[in-house]
Copies of this chain bind each other. A is one copy, B any other.
């Protein structure tokens, strides 16, 4: 039996630069799929392409329209290939309609001076943090999440705080060794920061997400099925759009990725 996640991101080649896939009921959101699984599908279109040079450095996924449940085609084109770097344009389409527009940058990386500046905050270990109970929204059950601070509001009466910082432990449920695709999916683990600033239910949706990768296959393999510490905090909230900035570390405290997104809200 394959893991839900591998099922969800699997793509069937249909000739150079074209693959087909489908949304996964296991990662269903309120409407359409979890944005993180879509980002992982986009990345996988590049990872599976035999023309690929190197590993992911940066990914930007623009959610142009809500994917309908069902099949899609992934169209990946290396717009520029250099000696050790490559710049991809990826589109997911349903019928003739473009639903997702993305860019992926890959590179063959070399050992250089390194020294992360975004250090993990001091937090209790996963075993000391209560696990989030089972949820009605299906994709949430694909993750073991343990919120340290910045939990989802319990009362929806419009109040909120001055800050939208969330920190949580997260890993796949059931367990699955971490790789670039699952790291990408987890970069979208954060519920909308707006809810911490103003607990009101309003139509909402990510319009663009960027992930910068600070890791490699060996470090991901060493991280394995450990929890990731995920942190995000809002920045600007104005006239229908807000953004947040986030970071993901492994249990050893190594920074694996940074991420940003802009999110639409109706009112």
Contact = CB atoms under 8 A, between A and B. Distances in A.
A142 B197 CA distance: 39
A101 B101 contact: no
Counting contact residues on chain A (CB < 8 A from B), the size range is 35 or more
Tell me if A's interface is mostly helix, strand, loop or mixed. strand
A267 interface: yes
B207 A85 contact: yes
A114 B238 contact: yes
B214 A118 contact: no
A89 interface: yes
B239 A260 contact: no
Given A105-B207, A255-B235, A258-B236, A80 B64 contact: yes
A265 B163 CA distance: 34
Contacts of A197: 115, 117
Contacts of A239: 109-112, 114, 216
A2 interface: no
Contacts of A262: 57-58, 105, 212
Contact of A109 (B212, B240, B257, B258): B240
A58 B263 CA distance: 10
A214 B236 contact: yes
A237 interface: yes
A23 interface: no
Contacts of A80: 64-65, 97-99, 101
A79 interface: yes
